[in-house]
Amino acid sequence: MTVRVLISDKMDPKAAAIFRERGIEADEKPGLGPDELGAIIGNYDGLAIRSATKVTKALLEAANNLKVVGRAGIGVDNVDIPAATARGVVVMNTPFGNSITTAEHAIALMFALARQLPEADASTQQGKWEKNRFMGVEVTGKTLGLIGCGNIGSIVPRGALGLKMKVTAFDPFLTPDRADELGVDKVELDELLRRADFITLHTPLTDQTRNILSRENLAKSKQGVRIINCARGGLIDEQALKEALDSGHVAGAALDVFESEPATASPLFGTAGFISTPHLGASTSEAQVNVAIQVAEQMSDYLLLGGVTNAVNMPSLSAEEAPRLKPYMALAEKLGKLAGQILGEDVRSVSVEVEGAAAQLNQKPITGAVLAGLMGTYSQTVNMVNAPFLAKERGLDVREVRHDREGDYHTLVAVQIGTSKGPMPVAGTLFGNKAPRLVELFGVEVEAELAGTMIYIVNTDTPGFIGRLGTALGEARINIAPFTLARREAWGEAVALVAVDGDVPAEVVATLTKLEGVRDVVPLRF
C-alpha cells in the first residue's frame, strides 16, 4: 500500500526528494486555503508544514488517514496538539534546526537599533545626507539582558561576549553552574530590567510568559533601553511598548514577531525608533534546508519504521517497547507535572528511581516523561524527546537510579526533586499495570489519582479544617470530586489533594489561602 505525504507549505525541494527516495509519494501543494486542504487531507498519511498551514481541529477531523504532522521548524502553535493527540496523530517538529539563524537575527537587530541603520539608509537614499542626525550608541561595554536562556538564548551570549558586552539572564531553569559556563549573570526579572541596556527575548509563549514585558515591567526597565524580540509574538504588550517609545523611556525596539500575524497593522508601525521584520528569524537558506531535511527524515522513519523523533505529543519509542512503556510514561509525566506545578522555579536537580517491574524496562523514556511533565509547566515546546537535552542545556543535574530490590509495591517510579529547601520526593505506582496512582508526596504517604483539575493544600492538622474547606468551595460553587487527605503526624502538617469539577479561579485560591491553618494552596491541572 502506497504511503502518501502532503507538503502544504513552501519548503526546500530536498524534503520531497527524501520522501520519494524512501518510497513515499509526496505531493507539493503550497498555498491551499482551509477548505481546499480539508477536501484532500483525507488522502494522506502525513502532512509536512511550516508556519502558514493551520492544523485545526476541523482539519484533523477530515484527516481520516493522517498519522503524522511534521513541522519544519520549532514552533507548533499553528497545530491543535490536543486535537491531534485525541485522534492519534503524532506531531513532530525540528527544534534545533534554525537556532543559530534566529540567534544571529537577534544580534543583527541589536546592531540595527544601536546605529539606527534602517532610518539612516532611508534618509541617505533620499539624498539627504543627515550625518549629524543619526547619533548611535556602542554595544561594547553595554549590558545585554536575556529573557530566556535555552536553545537559542544560550547562543546569543557567545556573540555578545565577543563584543565585550556584559550579559545577564532570567530563566527559571538556568542553574548557577550553567550560567557560569555561558559567562552570564543569572538574575531575577526585576534586576534584569533595572540593569539591561539591551533586552532580547528567547522564550516560548505560555501563560507564564504572555506579556512578560507588560506596561508595568516596561516601566521598571532602564531609561533608554532597547528591546529585541525574535521569539514569539505576545511576549510584549505592543500598545505599552509604543507608549514607552513615544515617551522616550524606551530608546528603540526591533520586533521580528507580532501578537497577530501576518502583521498588516500594528500600533508600533510608524513609531520613531521602531524596526520591524516579517518573522525572518529562521529565514536563511541554511536553516530552511536543515529543517526541511530533518522533518522529511523524521516523518519517513515514523511512517515506514515506526520510529519517533522530536515528537511533541509522544516519547521516542520503538514499536516493541511502546505497549509496555506507555502506562509507565503516563505515570512519570504526571509525577513531573505535579512537582513542577507545586515547586515552580525552585528546581535544582532531578533523580528518577525505578524498582520492581519498572526496573526491567528502558528507563530513558520514563525519565524523559518525568522531565517533560516537570518542564512542560513553563514551556509548551518541551516534550519527552527534547526534555532531557533541554534539562542538560540548562545545567539541571538529572540522575537515573535502578533498584533490583523488591519494595512495598510490585512496581514503583520515584522522583527526587532537589530544591533550595532540600529534596522533595514524589512517587507513584500502577494498579493492574494500567492505572497510575500517586503513593508519596513530599515525604507523606498518600493514595490519589492525578487527573483533571485538583487543588494541593498544606495545612495544620486541626479539627474543623475539612468543614471550613468544604464550605469555602461550596460558596464558590466548586464541586468536590475525590478527596485525599494525609498527614505526617497528628496535629502536625497535613496535605490535601482535592479533585474538583471545573476551573479554580484566582480569587478562590486567595480565599482558601486565608482559611485558618492553611499554609499553601496550589491549583493543579493534569
Residues 58 and 195 in one domain: no
- Sequence-distant (6+) residues with CB within 8 A of 258 are 233, 238, 266, 276, 279
Domain that holds residue 487: 451-526
Higher-pLDDT residue of 138 and 82 is 138
Co-location of 258 and 124 in the same domain:
yes
261 catalytic per annotation = yes
Q: Are residues 475 and 444 in the same domain?
A: no
Q: Based on the fold, state whether residues 163 and 305 are members of the same structural domain.
A: no
CATH of the domain at 163: 3.40.50.720
Other residues' Cβ atoms within 10 Å of the Cβ of residue 233: 19
CA atoms lying within 13 Å on the CB side of residue 119: 21
Rounded to the nearest 10°, the torsion over CA 434, 437, 442, 443 is -100
End-to-end C-alpha distance for the chain, whole angstroms: 39
Among 263, 293, 312, the domain boundary falls at 312
Domain match, 302 and 393 both: no
Domain's final residue, options 450, 470, 489: 450
- 324 and 302 belong to one structural domain: no
pLDDT tens digits for range 305-364: 877 888 888 777 765 676 788 899 899 999 999 999 999 888 999 999 999 999 998 888
Residues 90, 217, single domain; the answer is no
Indicate which CATH number applies to the domain containing 342. 3.30.1330.90
Single out the residue in 265, 297, 312 at which a domain terminates.
Answer: 312
| Amino acid (1-letter code) at residue 411 | T
pLDDT in tens, 376-425: 877 765 766 567 767 877 788 999 999 987 778 899 999 999 999 999 99
Q: Tally the domains of the chain.
A: 4
Q: Does the annotation count 202 as an active-site position?
A: no
Per-residue model confidence (pLDDT) at position 393: 73
pLDDT reported for residue 318: 64
CA dihedral 310, 155, 101, 238 (to 10 degrees): 90
Torsions phi, psi of 435, nearest 5?
-85, 115
CA 455 to mean position of chain CA atoms: 23
Picking from 311, 360, 309, 370, the residue whose alpha carbon sits closest to that of residue 339 is 370
List the catalytic residue out of 50, 105, 232, 394.
Answer: 232
* Predicted confidence (pLDDT) per residue in 417-432, tens digit: 999 999 999 999 998 7
204 and 244 together in one domain = yes
| Cα Rg, the chain, nearest whole Å | 25
Query: Are residues 436 and 465 located together in one domain of the fold?
Result: no
Query: At residue 500, what are phi and psi to the nearest 5 degrees?
Result: -135, 160
Average pLDDT over residues 252-263: 94
**Longest pairwise C-alpha distance within the chain:** 84
Q: What is the pLDDT of residues 146-193, one digit of tens each?
A: 999 988 999 999 999 999 999 999 998 899 999 999 999 999 999 999
Catalytic residue among 279, 333, 393, 394: 279
Span 193-203, pLDDT tens digits: 999 999 999 99
- pLDDT band at 67; cut points 50, 70, 90: very high
Distance of alpha carbon 229 from alpha carbon 440, whole angstroms: 42
Mean pLDDT, the chain, rounded, equals 92
Banded model confidence at residue 222, pLDDT cuts 50, 70, 90: very high
% pLDDT > 90, the chain: 74
Per-residue confidence at 525, pLDDT binned at 50, 70, 90?
very high
State pLDDT tens for residues 72-127.
988 888 999 988 887 888 999 998 888 899 999 999 999 999 999 999 999 999 99
Q: What CATH code is carried by the domain that includes residue 459? A: 3.30.70.260
Q: Which of 394, 388, 385 is nearest to 152 (CA)?
A: 394
Average the pLDDT over 26-53 and give the result: 96
The Cα 333–Cα 371 span in angstroms is: 7
Query: Which comes out higher in pLDDT, residue 382 or 505?
Result: 505
What confidence tens digit (pLDDT) does each residue in 273-299 have?
Answer: 999 999 999 889 899 999 999 999 999
Q: What angle do CA 9, 15, 18 make, to 5 degrees?
A: 150
Based on the fold, state whether residues 414 and 519 are members of the same structural domain: no
User: What is the model's pLDDT at position 303?
Assistant: 92
Check if 279 is active-site. yes
Choose, from 261, 406, 445, 475, the residue flagged as catalytic: 261
Please tell me the predicted confidence (pLDDT) of residue 452: 93
Q: Report d(CA 495, CA 486) in Å as an integer.
A: 5
Residue 358 shares a structural domain with residue 379: yes
- Asked if residue 493 lies in contact with residue 441, where contact means CB atoms within 8 angstroms, the answer is no
For residue 490, give the DSSP letter. Answer: T
- The values of phi and psi at residue 518, to 5°, are -80, 130
Using 50, 70 and 90 to split pLDDT, how confident is the model at 475?
Answer: very high
Q: Are residues 446 and 458 in the same domain?
A: no
Confidence of residue 474 (pLDDT cuts 50, 70, 90): very high
